[in-house]
A and B are shown apart, each in its own frame.
Chain A
Amino acid sequence: MSDATLDMPVGGTAQRAGNEPLVAADGTPLKQKLAQTTRRMKLRALMLTMPLVLFVLIAFVAPIGDMLFRSLYNPTGSNVVPAFAEAIQQWDGQDLPSEETVKIFVEDLAKARRSREIGRTVGNLATRLNYELPGYRSLVTKTARRAARITEGPYKEALFAIDKRWEERIVWTTLQRITKDYTLAFYLAATDRKYDADGSIVQADELYRIYVPILWKTIWVSALITALCFIIAYPVSYLLSTLPLRISNLLMILVLLPFWTSLLVRTSAWIAMLQTEGVVNNIFVYLGIITDESRIQMIYNLQGTIIAMVHILLPFMILPLYSVMKTIPPSYMRAARSMGASGTYAFMRVYFPQTVPGIAAGTLLVFILAIGYYITPALVGGNDGLLISNLIADHIKKTLNWSLGAALGTILLVVVLVFYWLYNKLVGVDNLKFG
């Protein structure tokens, strides 16, 4: 605008008179000019937020979208045996597929056998079938090795001769299902269920149920950690907020120092403290509380996971509590007491309600962080201290069943959102106060 003012003819302002609309230096009406300028400023503001928007899109929305997609979309079947994938959909699921369909299957297998392209090999189809019918992997690879030699019918008989499992209807119903690109099978597996021969959904065998129990365990362990953090943090925060600033700052550093220390260092420190040859056990033995033979197993189990995680997540509870308590004037409590309320009554009716926003923020933070925690359980969880995120990592890194990993990840995300919604209903997100 300053440029415009400079260019303005000297007499410009003197010309203004009567009902003529106000004009800017370049002659456009002032209203229009203003709209133009605000638009430009809005655009500039938008441009300034673009890096953040892009970052969120690339680093957050896209990966989560990809995860959701992968958990439902698995084109392995139609990639490996494309012609069969179309033909088998005509089958009504009774008896066995027609001779013609089986012929297409044999031809497709022979073709796929020559493929070395990732995602289109016989091995990929075999692995995909094996996810839903454990133990049937070699049925596909073995048959594919001989498929090229089957040049004339009857094709069904030829398959039966290779392996009599081809006579089982469930093999064909499963093949029919996995040659569709979109599937719910991974969500079923993630909730300990599966399809039977007729395509109905049934519970997995009891010995193979693993994900639902672990999910429940993750939820209650996170709730327990949150409760423990609250019980420890509340008095500490109260102390911090009421002590003179000089002392409370010193104590605050004791809270913040571990907060700034690397997660790995703190977890390893707990290993050094709690292991059977560790500091705590040594002290117990020295004091004669336990004998050298009966050292207590305190880490590499669920107990170790809980202890280490409570310690690591504690600052996330203390900091919001402290910042809220700091704003509560001590005169409120004194007023309540002076009007005859007992100490407990004044605390419950006057002090505690004012700390609720801090409690809300602290518990939400700790619970959500705990439910997806990975490193600490992986390091100190042993066998029974593992949580759902460790199983997800296992499927991404070891078994390579990325679709199942994605389905489990999506379920975890939904669980967190449900808890957030519940929380909003109970406490109200507007009541949160992080400080």
Chain B
Amino acid sequence: MKLKNMLLGTVFGAAVAFGATAAMADGHAKELTVVSWGGAYTKSQVEAYHKPFIEETGIQIKSEDYNGGIAEIKAQVEAGNVTWDIVDVELSDAVRACDEGLIEPLDPSILPAGADGTPAQEDFLEGTLHECAVANIVWSTIFSYDTTKITGDVPTTMADFFNTEKWPGKRGLRKGAKVNLEFALIADGVPAAEVYDVLATPEGVDRAFAKLDTIKDDVVWWEAGAQPPQLLADGEVLMTTAYNGRIFNAVAGEGKPFEIVWDGQVWDLDLWVIPKGAKNKEAAMEFLKFSTATEQLAAQASYISYGPARKSSAPLVGKFHNADIDMGPQMPTAPENLTNAVQNNFEFWADNADQLNERFNAWLAG
């Protein structure tokens, strides 16, 4: 009898506890989960989007970090347990997720007009509105070095990044094929405009890997965007590729002596997508409309050096939020930074990412 009572007690207790958690989950239903890339970038979004949004709507926001890719979205959607409401993704991932039906289609006509009255469809830069995604920023992968470590002759071109004879020391690169192959070809003398034509041929891929081979033993691989400024600061690497905004914020926000080299930069878009079956779809739509409005995009640009996706935001972009630095010239899209630049070709990467990453892994392990 005693055992039976104990069993009953346990079952009852568990049921009560379970009910309580379920009730609590209900109570928190109005909390929006916004997923982005962490570090200085997420911080800029919290300042420019989250805080004013919470103030205006009263909807709480839970911010989560990830390192890109659509694996987690796919896992959540297929398991029917979608815990992310809105996610900041790269263009090639947005296209693939949309093709596979993992994210909600978006109608661009619901987006608010620009502050100057231009309809959204004309206000957004060309190619920044997608059938399932809305871009917020233009960002770029560049390379950077520490000016206290490299004095005298400084690197100015992508070829210099690969020149370990003149500048001996470790190099930081993002672990994966994307962007590294572009960099390798540019360093090998391929003009920026022809990079993807060359890369589309087997010889071009061989050429890129051969160039990467020349620095393979000196590479420290990074995965999260917050790592490269840290690697530079710790002296673990002499030069590293990085997202331009992370380096800028380390310089402007923390006074780090880093210099950005814009030659050969590969720029790309970040876009908001809403996973299919998101629990707070309505709130996510509200957040999407709110955060991609002219003022919010311009405000974000004062916290990190990523270019707003709306034309009407450009004139509103001013100085860094706590220092006297003009943000305009820090943007990947500033004319002087675009002299030898590549726009990431989303179709090429949607097509070839699997195969090239496989080869990249084989190359890395060999």
Binding site for B on A (CB under 8 A): 115-118, 120-124, 126-127, 130-131, 134-138, 141, 207-210, 213-214, 383-384, 386, 391, 394, 397-401
Shortest Cβ-Cβ A-B pairs, 4 listed: A123-B99, A134-B355, A123-B100, A210-B362
Q: How far is the CA of A214 from the CA of B77 in the complex (A)?
A: 32
A117 to chain B, nearest CB (A): 6
- Out of B71, B352, B355, which one reaches A208, CB within 8 Å? B355
A50 to chain B, nearest CB (A): 17
Q: Are A400 and B351 in contact (CB under 8 A)?
A: no
Q: How far is the CA of A121 from the CA of B96 in the complex (A)?
A: 11
Given contacts A131-B354, A384-B365, contact A400 B71 (CB under 8 A): yes
Most chain A CB atoms below 10 A, which of B101, B105, B209, B355 = B101
Asked whether any CB of chain A lies closer than 8 Å to the CB of B69, the reply is yes
Residues of B within 8 A of A134 (CB): 351-352, 354-355
Q: How far is the CA of A121 from the CA of B364 in the complex (A)?
A: 34
Residues of B within 8 A of A123 (CB): 96, 98-101
Using CB atoms, name the residue of chain A closest to B95.
A141
Could you jot down 23 A-B contacts, CB within 8 Å?
Answer: A116-B276, A118-B77, A118-B101, A118-B102, A118-B276, A123-B99, A123-B100, A124-B100, A130-B351, A130-B354, A134-B352, A138-B347, A207-B359, A208-B358, A210-B361, A210-B365, A213-B365, A213-B366, A383-B221, A383-B364, A394-B361, A399-B71, A400-B71
Residues of B within 8 A of A138 (CB): 347, 350-351
Q: Are B364 and A399 in contact (CB under 8 A)?
A: no
Asked whether any CB of chain A lies closer than 8 Å to the CB of B357, the reply is yes
B181 to chain A, nearest CB (A): 14
Q: How far is the CA of A399 from the CA of B351 in the complex (A)?
A: 13
Using CB atoms, name the residue of chain A closest to B361.
A210
- Out of A121, A383, A401, which one reaches B354, CB within 8 Å? A401
Residues of A within 8 A of B358 (CB): 208, 210
Q: How far is the CA of A27 from the CA of B28 in the complex (A)?
A: 68
Q: Are A383 and B100 in contact (CB under 8 A)?
A: no
Residues of A within 8 A of B206 (CB): 207
Residues of B within 8 A of A399 (CB): 71, 354, 357
Q: Which of B334-359 contact A (CB under 8 A)?
A: 347, 350-352, 354-355, 357-359
Asked whether any CB of chain A lies closer than 8 Å to the CB of B74, the reply is yes
Q: Is the interface of B mostly helix, strand, loop or mixed?
A: helix
Q: Which of B305-363 contact A (CB under 8 A)?
A: 347, 350-352, 354-355, 357-359, 361-363
Residues of B within 8 A of A131 (CB): 354
Asked whether any CB of chain A lies closer than 8 Å to the CB of B286, the reply is no
Q: Are B69 and A398 in contact (CB under 8 A)?
A: yes
Asked whether any CB of chain A lies closer than 8 Å to the CB of B78, the reply is yes
Q: Are B355 and A135 in contact (CB under 8 A)?
A: yes
Residues of B within 8 A of A384 (CB): 364-365
Residues of B within 8 A of A400 (CB): 70-71, 74
Q: A122-B99, A383-B364 are in contact. List 9 more A-B contacts (CB 8 A).
A: A116-B105, A123-B96, A124-B100, A134-B351, A138-B347, A138-B351, A207-B209, A213-B366, A400-B71
* Number of B residues, CB within 8 Å of A: 32
Using CB atoms, name the residue of chain A closest to B103.
A116
Q: Are B362 and A209 in contact (CB under 8 A)?
A: yes
Residues of A within 8 A of B221 (CB): 383
A276 to chain B, nearest CB (A): 9
Q: How far is the CA of A207 from the CA of B365 in the complex (A)?
A: 12
Residues of B within 8 A of A116 (CB): 101, 105, 276
B271 to chain A, nearest CB (A): 16
Residues of B within 8 A of A391 (CB): 361
Given contacts A138-B350, A398-B69, A398-B71, contact A207 B100 (CB under 8 A): no
Q: Are A135 and B71 in contact (CB under 8 A)?
A: no
Residues of A within 8 A of B98 (CB): 123
Q: Are B362 and A126 in contact (CB under 8 A)?
A: no
Q: Are A383 and B101 in contact (CB under 8 A)?
A: no
Most chain B CB atoms below 10 A, which of A137, A141, A397 = A137
Given contacts A131-B354, A398-B69, contact A121 B100 (CB under 8 A): yes
Using CB atoms, name the residue of chain A closest to B205.
A207
Q: How far is the CA of A394 from the CA of B358 in the complex (A)?
A: 10
Residues of B within 8 A of A115 (CB): 101
Residues of B within 8 A of A130 (CB): 351, 354-355
Given contacts A383-B365, A384-B365, A398-B69, contact A126 B99 (CB under 8 A): yes
Q: Which of B47-78 contact A (CB under 8 A)?
A: 69-71, 74, 77-78
Residues of B within 8 A of A214 (CB): 365
- Out of B99, B363, B366, which one reaches A121, CB within 8 Å? B99
Residues of A within 8 A of B70 (CB): 400
Q: How far is the CA of A386 from the CA of B99 in the complex (A)?
A: 32
Q: How far is the CA of A214 from the CA of B102 in the complex (A)?
A: 33
Using CB atoms, name the residue of chain B closest to A115.
B101
Q: How far is the CA of A209 from the CA of B365 in the complex (A)?
A: 11
Q: Are B362 and A208 in contact (CB under 8 A)?
A: yes
Q: How far is the CA of A134 from the CA of B71 in the complex (A)?
A: 19
B364 to chain A, nearest CB (A): 5
Residues of A within 8 A of B96 (CB): 123, 127
Residues of A within 8 A of B102 (CB): 118
Residues of A within 8 A of B359 (CB): 207-208
Residues of B within 8 A of A401 (CB): 354
Q: Are A135 and B101 in contact (CB under 8 A)?
A: no
Q: How far is the CA of A115 from the CA of B100 in the complex (A)?
A: 10
Most chain B CB atoms below 10 A, which of A115, A117, A121, A138 = A138
Given contacts A118-B100, A121-B99, contact A137 B362 (CB under 8 A): no
Q: How far is the CA of A396 from the CA of B179 in the complex (A)?
A: 23
